[in-house]
Amino acid sequence: MKTIKTQVGIIGAGPAGLTLAHWLKKHGIESVILEHRSREYVQARVRAGLLEQNTVDIYKYLGLADRLLREGQEHHGVYFNFDGQRIRIPFGELTGGRNITIYGQQEVVKDLTDAWLAGGGALYFEAPALSIEGFDTAHPIIQFEYEGEPGVIECDFVAACDGFHGIGRKSLPKNSFQEYSITYPFGWLGILAQVAPSSEELVYAYHENGFALHSLRSSKVSRLYLQVEDGEQVENWPDERIWEELSVRLGTEGWSLQSGPIFEKSITPMRSYMIDNMQSERLFLTGDAAHIVPPTGGKGLNLAVADVKHLVDGLVDFYQNNSMRGLEDYTKNALKRIWRAQDFSNFMTTLFHKQAEHGSYTYRLQKAKFDYIRCSKAYATTIAENYVGLPFEAFI
Ligand SMILES: Cc1cc2nc3c(=O)[nH]c(=O)nc-3n(C[C@H](O)[C@H](O)[C@H](O)COP(=O)(O)OP(=O)(O)OC[C@H]3O[C@@H](n4cnc5c(N)ncnc54)[C@H](O)[C@@H]3O)c2cc1C
C-alpha cells in the first residue's frame, strides 16, 4: 500500500485541480494531485477555449501565462448576428479595457501540467480516487489506485476538482445540498477545421434554421458549432452538410465563410446543473464537480478557476492565521459568481437558439432583445461585462 502525506489532496488534473495546486504552491502550501486518466488523454481533450480577463490575470500572476500571452489571441469584441443582420459589441470600450483571450483548454492544461511536473510537483496519472473518507475529522484520506496497487493520501483537506462525473459530489452528505438543473432540448455539433478563421472575432448567430457560432483556436484552426436536435448523431452530418449549414446560418451581406478539412467532430448536450453547497467539513468541490453551464457564454473553465480563487483564499487564511473563517465562507463566496454565470449562460442560450417556430412569440422576444442591444449602450454594456467576466471585487 502506497501512503502519501500532504496538506491538500487534490482529485483531478483539469483546469481546477492544476490551478489550485500551482496557487497553493505560491503560498507555500503542499498538495498532491490524482488524475484518473492518462497525461495524453487529458491533454488532447478538446473543450473550452475562451478565457475571461480574470483567468488570464490569474495565470499571469502565477507565472503560467508565457505561452498563453504568446499564442493566445486577445479579442476586443464579439459579433452578434440576428436574421442575417450583424452588430458588434466592443468589450474594452464598454468595460474599461477588459477583454477575453482565445486559447484552448487543452493548451492551458498542457502548460499547467508541464510547469507543475517541471517544478517537482506530485501528480499521478491513471490513478483514480476511489473514496474520500474522514473529512469530518482533521485527518481526511483519499483511497486511490495506482499501477494496480491501492494507495492512500493522508491530508488536512480534500479538494474534489474531479469534474461532473467525479466522486467529490457523490461524497457530500445527501441532505447537505439542493440540486438545480435544466436540460435544453438541443445540442451543439462542434467541429475543428484546418482553415484560417473567416472572422477575427467570434460570431454568434440566430437563424431560422437554428443557432451557429464561429469561434477560432489559432490563425490556422477554426472552431465552429451548429445547433442540432437533442439526440442527433454525428453520422448524419457529413462535412459538406456542416459547411453548407454553417454558411447559411452565419451568412451576412458581404461576408463569406471559408471551409477546410474537418479533423474533429462531436455533439455536446446542452444543460445547466448546480448544487447550492460545495463543501462539507474538510471536503471542498470546485468547477464542474459542482456546476456545469451550457457553453454559450464561455463560462465553464472560468468558473472553475474562480472557485479555486475562493478556495485558495480560505486555505491561505487557515494555514497563515489558523482560521477556518475563509473556508466556512467558501460556498457563499463562490455561489454569487456561479448564479451570475448560470443566468448569463441561460440568457445567451435563449437569445440565440431556435426554441420555437420562427416568427412565434418566443422568436419575437428574442428579436426584441437583439434590437434593444443595437440601440442601447447600457444593455450592450451589461452583456459585455458579463461576457468578459466581472472583477472579483464586484461580488464582495
Ligand atoms: C465536451 C465538452 C465541451 C465543453 N466546451 C466548453 C466550451 O466551449 N466553453 C466553455 O466555457 N466550457 C466548455 N466546457 C466546460 C469546461 O471544459 C469545463 O467547465 C472545465 O473543464 C471545468 O474544469 P474542471 O477542472 O472543473 O473539470 P474537468 O476539466 O472535467 O477536470 C476534472 C478532472 O478530474 C478527473 N477525474 C474525474 N474523476 C476522477 C477520479 N475519481 N479520480 C481522479 N481523477 C478524476 C477527470 O479525468 C478530469 O481530468 C465543455 C465541457 C465538455 C465536457
- Domain assignment present for residue 93? The answer is no
258 and 155 both lie in a single domain? no
Instruction: Kindly report the length of the chain.
Output: 396
User: What is the Cα–Cα distance from 185 to 325, expressed in whole angstroms?
Assistant: 42
Coil, strand or helix at 32: strand
| Alpha carbon nearest to ligand 1 atom 41, residue | 129
Active-site residue, 379 included: no
pLDDT of 347 > 70? The answer is: yes
Separation of CA 14 and ligand 1 centre (Å): 6
230 and 282 both lie in a single domain? no
Instruction: From 106, 165, 288, give the residue whose CB has the most ligand 1 atoms within 8 Å, as the site to mutate.
Output: 288
231 and 290 both lie in a single domain? no
- Domain assignment present for residue 194? The answer is yes
**Confidence (pLDDT) at 115:** 98
Catalytic residue among 15, 197, 294, 295, which? 295
161 and 110 both lie in a single domain? yes
Q: Which CATH number fits the domain that encloses residue 267?
A: 3.30.9.10
Judging by DSSP bridges, how do beta strands 122-124 and 283-285 pair with one another?
unpaired
Active-site residue, 295 included: yes
172 and 218 both lie in a single domain? no
296 and 265 both lie in a single domain? no
Active-site residue, 291 included: no
Instruction: Give the binding-site residues of ligand 1, using a 6 Å CB cut-off.
Output: 11-17, 34-37, 42, 47-48, 50, 105, 128-129, 161-163, 166-167, 268, 287-288, 295, 298-301, 304
**Confidence (pLDDT) at 1:** 66
| Alpha carbon nearest to ligand 1 atom 29, residue | 14
pLDDT of 89 > 90? The answer is: yes
Give the number of the atom of ligand 1 that is nearest the alpha carbon of residue 266. Answer: 1
Long-range contacts of 21-27 (CB under 8 A, 24+ apart): 21/116, 21/121, 21/123, 22/62, 22/64, 22/112, 22/115, 22/116, 23/58, 23/62, 23/308, 23/309, 23/312, 24/312, 24/315, 25/119, 25/121, 26/62, 27/312, 27/315, 27/316, 27/319, 27/320
Q: Could you read off the pLDDT of 142-178 as tens digits, one per residue?
A: 999 999 999 999 999 999 999 999 999 999 999 999 9
Residue position matching grid coordinates 448536450: 269
User: What is the Cα–Cα distance from 244 to 258, expressed in whole angstroms?
Assistant: 11
Interval 266-281 mean pLDDT: 96
190 and 232 both lie in a single domain? yes
Active-site residue, 150 included: no
- Domain assignment present for residue 374? The answer is no
227 and 347 both lie in a single domain? no
Q: What is the CA radius of gyration of the chain?
A: 21
Residue position matching grid coordinates 432583445: 369
Separation of CA 288 and ligand 1 centre (Å): 6
| Alpha carbon nearest to ligand 1 atom 52, residue | 47
- Domain assignment present for residue 66? The answer is no
| Alpha carbon nearest to ligand 1 atom 13, residue | 48
Give the number of the atom of ligand 1 that is nearest the alpha carbon of residue 18. Answer: 25
Identify any residues that bridge with 4 across adjacent strands, giving them in sequence order.
Answer: 153
**Confidence (pLDDT) at 395:** 85
Give the number of the atom of ligand 1 that is nearest the alpha carbon of residue 307. Answer: 26
333 and 218 both lie in a single domain? no
Domain containing 304 equals 2-49+104-178+276-352
**pLDDT range class, residue 396, cuts 50, 70, 90:** confident
320 and 187 both lie in a single domain? no
Instruction: From 22, 130, 162, 296, give the residue whose CB has the most ligand 1 atoms within 8 Å, as the site to mutate.
Output: 162
- Domain assignment present for residue 185? The answer is yes
287 and 346 both lie in a single domain? yes
Catalytic residue among 79, 103, 204, 319, which? 204
Q: Could you read off the pLDDT of 178-193 as tens digits, one per residue?
A: 999 999 999 999 999 9
- CA dihedral of 297, 184, 346, 192, whole degrees rounded to 10: 10
Separation of CA 364 and ligand 1 centre (Å): 35
Catalytic residue among 22, 36, 75, 353, which? 75
Q: How far is CA 159 from the centre of its chain?
A: 18
The verdict on pTM exceeding 0.85 is: yes
Residue position matching grid coordinates 453548407: 244
285 and 338 both lie in a single domain? yes
Could you give the residue ranges of the DSSP H alpha helices within the chain?
15-26, 39-44, 53-61, 66-71, 91-95, 105-118, 168-171, 239-250, 300-321, 325-328, 330-352, 361-375, 377-388
**pLDDT range class, residue 379, cuts 50, 70, 90:** very high
Q: Could you read off the pLDDT of 293-343 as tens digits, one per residue?
A: 999 999 999 999 999 999 999 999 999 999 999 999 999 999 999 999 999
pLDDT of 64 > 90? The answer is: yes
**Confidence (pLDDT) at 366:** 98
User: What is the Cα–Cα distance from 10 to 124, expressed in whole angstroms?
Assistant: 11
Residue type, 119: G
- Domain assignment present for residue 390? The answer is no
Interval 95-111 mean pLDDT: 96
Asked if 157 and 8 touch (Cβ cutoff 8 Å), the reply is: yes
User: What is the Cα–Cα distance from 80 to 232, expressed in whole angstroms?
Assistant: 26
Count of domains in the chain?
2
**pLDDT range class, residue 2, cuts 50, 70, 90:** confident
User: What is the Cα–Cα distance from 219 to 396, expressed in whole angstroms?
Assistant: 39
**Confidence (pLDDT) at 75:** 96
Judging by DSSP bridges, how do beta strands 31-34 and 122-124 pair with one another?
parallel
**pLDDT range class, residue 48, cuts 50, 70, 90:** confident
Phi-psi map region of 208: left, alpha, beta (phi>0 left; psi -120 to 50 alpha): alpha
How many CB atoms are closer than 10 A to CB 30? 16
Q: Which CATH number fits the domain that encloses residue 9?
A: 3.50.50.60
Residue 53 dihedral angles phi and psi, to the nearest 5°? -55, -45
Active-site residue, 261 included: no
The average confidence (pLDDT) of the chain is: 96
Instruction: From 47, 296, 302, 386, give the residue whose CB has the most ligand 1 atoms within 8 Å, as the site to mutate.
Output: 47
Give the number of the atom of ligand 1 that is nearest the alpha carbon of residue 304. Answer: 26
Q: What is the 3-state secondary structure (H, E, C) of 47-104?
A: CCCEECHHHHHHHHHCCCCHHHHHHCEEECEEEEEECCEEEEEEHHHHHCCCCEEECC
